[in-house]
Amino acid sequence: MSEIRTTICQGCGRTFHDDLPERARCGECPPRKCEKCGQMDAPGASCSCWISLEGMALADVKAMFARDGGFELAHDIEARP
């Protein structure tokens, strides 16, 4: 049986008791100004830097990235909670 770790959100300080890695931001973080576009970015109300893949078939997601020249993992990526 694995031990449950305690992690803290770096954005708001909320404590989580789970096996997930440290979070830069979570669903409880307040809105913030995006450093890239200047728009407000919040859970459920993303700035224009984010694209939604929700509801897309995996083949369509792959085709979208292939059409644009691939998906470079070296870019800064922030996962949404």
For every residue of 3-60, which 3-state class applies, written as one string?
Answer: CCEEEEECCCCCEEEECCCCECCCCCCCCEECCCCCCEEECCECCCCCCCCCCCCHHH
pLDDT at 68: 65
Question: Same domain, yes or no, for 24 and 45?
Answer: no
pLDDT at 74: 45
pTM: 0.47
Question: Same domain, yes or no, for 42 and 61?
Answer: yes
pLDDT at 59: 87
Question: Same domain, yes or no, for 45 and 17?
Answer: no
The reply to whether 81 falls in a domain is no
- pLDDT values of the chain reduced to their tens digit, one per residue, 81 residues: 567 778 888 888 888 888 777 778 888 888 889 888 999 988 778 888 888 888 989 888 888 778 766 655 444 555 555
pLDDT at 73: 46
The reply to whether 74 falls in a domain is no
